[in-house]
Chains A and B, each alone.
Chain A
């Protein structure tokens, strides 16, 4: 009898690693949560962005509307000089509007990795063109109180990152840190999440600090002041007409 059971047990132990596929599924769900953390199905939020560089620093206040992963609309509220500057991203296209010169300028795909309004966030970060779950292969490991998610781009994914790492708290399931690596495996920038707050019933980190590691003295801090989720936005928000509206 044991002669049968032992090999069975043994093979069972051998196959144990394949259990990680369950764990990976788990990781994927966690990642989906990361994807939707700041967006949900739809969102309206008010945020402050502080950009710090060795030469200058400034703070922008802005309002953003999002639907799913595809559509984003952002309007700068202050400072006065930049009031009304707006960004619209719809599907794969992106436009900026400058009220002073009354011009809509399309952001070409080549500029997606360019800086948005002089910050350390790229146009791509802001509109999150890619869904992490769809574009990356994810694996999970446990590190003390936290999970470490390692994201490697799928073969067909077009990206500049060689690897993305998340550190997620086990209890709250909220991210603590997100690191971006280039193709050579060197860490290029880190985003730190802090100050967990309740936004209309949803707990999420209110402050995100982006630190590019290749530029000393540069830092961008985004702070969510207000956020509402799963609101009905109507059809008029994500249009070029709305982009050009003066308010």
Chain B
């Protein structure tokens, strides 16, 4: 009996080829449309996330517990070198950048401005974030040579665009920084400006970058202890950030350190992005609705046309349940085939969007980070969601005609035109 119904269903589909083809096209088109929209929206978001996280945040950050809520000079990660070596061996990790932060007062030619001084490992930082590419004037920081002579050689420093402008400094000038040392003394030193980074709206605009060793000397931190405030990690895929952070946290086995994905570190950015995403889900919902209406139309027409057929089936003694199953099965098979067709059409375009993308005539500036191409994305989500939408909406809209056909009396059905 079940085999008979399957056989019947396929026969019905193949019998009226033109009708089946039209149904397939309508549903496949819906799939195609949904798949492309999803690919574009997911792609743009992950593109924004990639650009954003590679700007300065990284995908995962490690701090001393509570550092993010209440930063303090004394909340340091001890033995950072060991942790870096350990993390760098992980296959997912592309780069680890240690950082020391110290809010300071910067003196230029005449004026004074507050500045965030960040001690970095120039090589590791370049592998983790785009800092090196943001150098507008001068050259990127190199690890300072060990002072051989007793002549005062100033440590090199890179300063943010706005800070340089406010302090009226250019490459080659002297920059004076005053801050609080880790031993309570007043940290004060002269640095040589070797580069100007970023622009008036970028994250670095009021920052000063010096090497870790310069920072340790500046803050009177003992050189050997390898203490830092922050480790920023870049992974091969930003989707893995949460999972990696949770795994690393449990692997560390150290309650003092907290490992956070960028979603936690940049929670305000993440939240506004989530809100934006919700907005785009509304338009996605509208597209899904239109696709389901199309499916409803074709399926409904298909069953109404065949009212007499169902009448004959009932007249020769087919049970209502069998009629119902037959119609549902037909719809399901049609939905599956249309998904396949849609997939075959959509995948090459998705792949093209993911690799090349559509370049925007006018780049969008989001908090100093510039987005100039719309990129697509190919993922299970992009493929599976449209399939589920098409198949489930097909089954849902087939439900009513199928019940009608199952309940119809043979006499009435045979009288219908």
Interface hit among B83-91, B184-192, B236-244, B260-268: B184-192
Q: How far is the CA of A118 from the CA of B220 in the complex (A)?
A: 13
Knowing A55-B74, A81-B220, say if A100 contacts B182 (CB, 8 Å). Answer: no
Q: Is B161 an interface residue (CB 8 A)?
A: no
- As a 0/1 sequence over residues 105 to 135 of chain A, the CB contacts with chain B under 8 angstroms (1 = contact) are 1000000000001110000000000000000
Q: Which residue of B lies closest to A51 (CB)?
A: B184
Does A101 lie at the interface of the complex (its beta carbon under 8 Å from any beta carbon of B)?
A: yes
Within 8 A of B (CB), among A9-51: 51
A80 to B232 Cα, complex, angstroms = 35
Q: How far is the CA of A83 from the CA of B327 in the complex (A)?
A: 93
Smallest CB gap from B181: residue in A: A118
A81 touches B188 (CB 8 A): no
B183 contacts partner chain A, Cβ-Cβ < 8 Å? yes
With a cutoff of 8 Å between Cβ atoms, the chain A residues found around residue B185 in the complex are: 58, 81-82, 117-118
Interface membership of A243, Cβ < 8 A: no
Say whether, besides A53-B184, A81-B220, A100 and B107 are in contact (CB < 8 Å): no
| A118-B183 Cα distance, complex, nearest whole Å | 8
User: Given B107, B182, B184, which contacts A103 in the complex, CB threshold below 8 Å?
Assistant: B107
Which of B178, B184, B188, B189 is A56 in contact with, Cβ under 8 Å?
Answer: B184
A101 near B186 with CB under 8 A, answer no
Give B269 Cβ to nearest chain A Cβ, in Å. 32
Q: Is A167 on the interface with B (CB-CB < 8 A)?
A: no
Which bucket holds chain A's interface residue count?
10 to 19
CA distance A119 to B186 in the complex (A): 11
| B176 CB within 8 Å of chain A | yes
Interface residue? A181 (CB, 8 A): no
B107 touches A118 (CB 8 A): no
Answer whether residue B57 sits at the interface, using C-beta atoms and an 8 A cutoff.
Answer: no
A98, B183: Cβ atoms under 8 Å? no
B-contact bits for A60-102, CB 8 A (1 contact / 0 none): 0000000000000000000001100100000000001010110
The answer to the question of B373 belonging to the interface, with a C-beta cut-off of 8 Å to chain A, is no
Q: Nearest chain-B residue to A58 (Cβ)?
A: B183
B249 interface residue (CB < 8 Å to A): no
User: Is B186 in contact with A117, judged by CB distance below 8 angstroms?
Assistant: yes
Contacts of B226 in A (CB 8 A): none
Could you tell me if A56 and B190 are in contact, using CB atoms closer than 8 angstroms?
no
B180 within 8 A of A: yes
**When chains A and B are docked, how far (Å) is the Cα of A51 from the Cα of B181?**
14
Considering only CB atoms, which chain A residue lies closest to B180 in the complex?
A118
Contact A117 B189 (CB under 8 A): no
Contact between chains at B182 and A56 (CB < 8 Å): yes
B220 / chain A contacts, CB cutoff of 8 Å? 81
Which among A58, A85, A98, A101 is the interface contact of B184 at CB below 8 angstroms? A58
Beyond A81-B220, A103-B107, is A117–B190 a contact (Cβ under 8 Å)?
no
Cβ A101 vs Cβ B183 within 8 A = no
Q: Is the CB of A101 within 8 A of B180?
A: no
Asked if A98 and B178 sit within 8 Å, CB to CB, the answer is yes
* Chain B residues engaging chain A, CB cutoff 8 angstroms: 74, 107, 176, 178, 180-186, 188-190, 220
Which 9 A/B pairs are nearest by Cβ-Cβ distance? A118-B184, A55-B74, A98-B188, A101-B176, A56-B183, A101-B188, A58-B183, A101-B190, A100-B188
List, sorted by A's number, 14 A–B pairs whose CB atoms are closer than 8 Å: A55-B182, A56-B182, A58-B183, A81-B185, A82-B185, A82-B186, A85-B186, A98-B186, A101-B176, A101-B188, A103-B176, A117-B184, A117-B185, A119-B184
Other 16 A-B pairs with CB < 8 A, given A55-B182, A58-B185, A118-B180: A51-B184, A55-B74, A56-B184, A58-B183, A81-B185, A81-B220, A96-B186, A98-B178, A100-B189, A100-B190, A101-B190, A103-B188, A105-B178, A118-B183, A118-B184, A118-B186
